[in-house]
């Protein structure tokens, strides 16, 4: 039976091992949190698109992202409606504005959505039904998942108790006539729905006939790619035509890879890996130094560098596993707390668990490879 030398080394230096495990746990938690935030950015990036009912999207060629759509002439929607295979083309207005807390007067950025009452713009039945309440320009529906800083009567979420409450948006008086469920994102902490007239009232557009997006529904049996090609041929170059998957993929990519918030979270993962690697390397390097005589003795007994290197690498893998498990448990708790407090979707999944486990093992293996240089320098002659 082989002696589990790697494990005995870890058990022998309990304090040093505990420090290494704590370092790995810290790095694992940091990686999980950064990946969780990054996943939340990706998920909320397409939150609006996920609730809209469309097959093809018409947007301005100057479109940047959902928070800055630019505008296009409404005449482009009329042109699109005449293309064979198109069933309906509906307009959607989007923009950021300032919501005034009705209780303390503080202002907070909110996402405003404007639709023509009666048009089936959303796929969510609740929003379709309640959009009929937007009978006057000053009437608004407020998202129940908006943060409590927007001023719900009961302090946490908007509810029926807030119906009739008046406040200001863009220095214009508005009245809450209902609520719906959408969800917050990183562009704004809340959302509201107005009629198209109400949207223009609080947020004047460059032209009275401009819209933010055009939502195209196709006739049954019409292929989206063929219809998209037909629309591109029929419409001028000041607009772009995207299929639903293309629109969602574009939005997620730009928020994750181009926007500063996504880049910051990606850099956070790299920083966590560097920190964890440095901590584990210091522990393993110190352990090798303290056991240099033992390694030299093993060399004198005929054990080669491969065996000794294997001992160090097995220690590294053991540290990765010992640090990963408490890191996973702690991250799950932090995910739930963060989701509740920050009001953003952040949850654990199997892919992320496996990915972080692989990163943890790789991180510790790199540290072990760095410490191997000292094992190679052990010399049996040092014993005499």
The mean of the pLDDT values for the chain is: 83
- The most confident of the ranges 41-45, 164-168, 269-273 is 164-168
Q: Is the pLDDT of residue 8 over 60?
A: no
Domain with 177, as residue range(s), is 62-236
Of the candidates 65, 336, 101, the residue with the CA atom closest to the CA atom of residue 186: 65
The pLDDT of 139-165, averaged and rounded, is 89
User: Is residue 245 one of the residues assigned to a domain?
Assistant: no
pLDDT digits (tens, 9 = 90+) for 21-70: 888 888 889 889 988 888 888 888 788 888 899 999 999 999 988 878 88
Give the residue with greater pLDDT, 203 vs 91. Answer: 91
Clarify whether residues 79 and 23 are in a common domain: no
CB 173 within 8 A of CB 194: no
What is the predicted pLDDT for the residue at 294?
Answer: 60
pLDDT digits (tens, 9 = 90+) for 90-147: 999 998 899 999 888 899 999 999 998 878 889 888 998 898 899 899 999 999 988 8
What is the predicted pLDDT for the residue at 383?
Answer: 45
User: Is residue 52 one of the residues assigned to a domain?
Assistant: no
Q: Is the pLDDT of residue 259 over 50?
A: yes
Tell me the percentage of the chain whose pLDDT exceeds 70: 84
Question: In the 8-state DSSP scheme, what is residue 29?
Answer: H
What is the predicted pLDDT for the residue at 243?
Answer: 93
HSE at residue 216, side-chain half, CA atoms within 13 A, is 33
Give the residue with greater pLDDT, 369 vs 80. Answer: 80
pLDDT band at residue 4 using 50, 70 and 90 as cut-offs: low
* Interacting residues of 3 by C-beta distance below 8 A, sequence separation 6+: none
The pLDDT of 258-268, averaged and rounded, is 84
pLDDT band at residue 15 using 50, 70 and 90 as cut-offs: confident
Q: Is the pLDDT of residue 276 over 50?
A: yes
The phi and psi torsions of 227 (rounded to 5 degrees) equal: -65, -40
Clarify whether residues 156 and 290 are in a common domain: no
pLDDT digits (tens, 9 = 90+) for 335-354: 999 888 777 788 888 999 99
Q: Is 157 helix (H, G, I), strand (E, B) or coil?
A: coil
Q: Give percent helix, percent strand, percent coil of the chain, each to the nearest 5.
A: 55, 20, 25
pLDDT band at residue 369 using 50, 70 and 90 as cut-offs: confident
Clarify whether residues 104 and 224 are in a common domain: yes
Clarify whether residues 211 and 330 are in a common domain: no
Of the candidates 334, 362, 323, 265, the residue with the CA atom closest to the CA atom of residue 31: 265
Using CB atoms within 10 Å of the CB of residue 341, give its burial: 0 to 12 exposed, 13 to 18 middle, 19+ buried.
Answer: exposed
Question: In the 8-state DSSP scheme, what is residue 258?
Answer: I
Clarify whether residues 175 and 202 are in a common domain: yes
User: Is residue 253 one of the residues assigned to a domain?
Assistant: no
- d(CA 352, CA 333) in angstroms, rounded, equals 15
User: Is residue 255 one of the residues assigned to a domain?
Assistant: no
The continuous run of DSSP H or E covering 173 comes out as strand 172-180
Least confident interval from 1-10, 101-110, 286-295: 1-10
Q: How far is CA 232 from CA 43, 77, 200, in A?
A: 29, 12, 28
Positive or negative, the Cα torsion across 305, 289, 22, 38?
negative
Least confident interval from 59-73, 191-205, 261-275, 306-320: 306-320
Q: Is the pLDDT of residue 254 over 90?
A: no
Clarify whether residues 149 and 274 are in a common domain: no
Clarify whether residues 370 and 269 are in a common domain: yes
Clarify whether residues 189 and 92 are in a common domain: yes
Q: How far apart are the first and last CA of the chain?
A: 30
User: Is residue 54 one of the residues assigned to a domain?
Assistant: no
- d(CA 21, CA 27) in angstroms, rounded, equals 10
Q: Is 358 helix (H, G, I), strand (E, B) or coil?
A: helix
Pairing of strands 191-195, 139-143: antiparallel
CB 65 within 8 A of CB 255: yes
What is the predicted pLDDT for the residue at 384?
Answer: 45
Q: How big is the chain, counted in residues?
A: 384
User: Is residue 247 one of the residues assigned to a domain?
Assistant: no
Predicted TM-score of the model (pTM): 0.78
DSSP structure string for 78-147: HHHHTSTTEEEEEEEEEEEEEEEPTTT--EEEEEEEEE-TT---BS-HHHHHHGGG--STTEEEEETTS-
- In the chain, the number of structural domains is 2
Clarify whether residues 27 and 162 are in a common domain: no
Clarify whether residues 118 and 32 are in a common domain: no
User: Is residue 331 one of the residues assigned to a domain?
Assistant: yes
Q: How many CB atoms within 10 Å of residue 160?
A: 10
Clarify whether residues 86 and 40 are in a common domain: no
**Helices 5-12 and 305-342: crossing angle, nearest 10°?**
60
């Amino acid at each position: 039976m082989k002696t589990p030398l790697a494990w005995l080394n870890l058990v022998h230096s309990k304090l040093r091992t505990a420090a290494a495990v704590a370092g790995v746990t810290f790095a694992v938690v940091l990686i999980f949190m950064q990946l969780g935030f990054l996943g939340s950015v990706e998920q909320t990036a397409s939150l609006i698109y996920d609730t809209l009912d469309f097959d093809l999207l018409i947007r301005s060629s100057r479109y940047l992202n959902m928070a800055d759509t630019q505008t296009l002439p409404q005449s482009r929607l009329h042109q699109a409606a005449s293309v064979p295979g198109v069933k309906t083309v509906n307009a959607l207005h989007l923009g950021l504005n300032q919501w005034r807390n009705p209780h303390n007067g503080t202002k907070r950025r909110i996402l405003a959505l404007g639709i023509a009452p009666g048009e089936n713009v959303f796929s969510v039945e609740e929003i379709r039904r309640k959009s009929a309440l937007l009978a006057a320009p000053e009437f608004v529906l407020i998202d129940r998942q908006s943060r409590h800083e927007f001023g719900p009567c009961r302090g946490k979420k908007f509810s029926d108790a807030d119906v009739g409450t008046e406040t200001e948006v863009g220095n214009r008086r508005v009245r809450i006539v209902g609520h719906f469920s959408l969800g917050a994102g990183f562009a704004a902490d809340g959302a509201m729905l107005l009629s198209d007239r109400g949207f223009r009232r609080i947020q004047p557009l460059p032209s009275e006939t401009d819209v933010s997006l055009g939502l195209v529904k196709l006739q049954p049996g019409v292929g989206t790619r063929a219809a998209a090609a037909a629309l591109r041929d029929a419409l001028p170059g000041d607009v772009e035509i995207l299929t639903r998957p293309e629109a969602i993929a574009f939005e997620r990519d730009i928020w994750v890879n181009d926007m500063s918030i996504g880049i910051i979270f990606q850099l956070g993962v790299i920083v966590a890996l560097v920190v964890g690697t440095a901590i584990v390397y210091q522990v393993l390097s110190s352990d090798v130094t303290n056991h240099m005589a033992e390694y030299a003795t093993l060399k004198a007994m005929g054990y080669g560098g491969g065996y000794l290197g294997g001992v160090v690498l097995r220690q590294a893998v053991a540290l990765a596993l010992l640090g990963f498990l408490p890191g996973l448990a702690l991250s799950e708790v932090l995910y739930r707390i963060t989701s509740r407090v920050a009001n953003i979707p952040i949850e654990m999944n199997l892919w992320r668990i496996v990915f972080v486990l692989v990163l943890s093992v790789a991180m510790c293996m790199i540290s072990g490879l760095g410490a191997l240089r000292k094992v190679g320098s052990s010399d049996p002659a040092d014993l005499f």
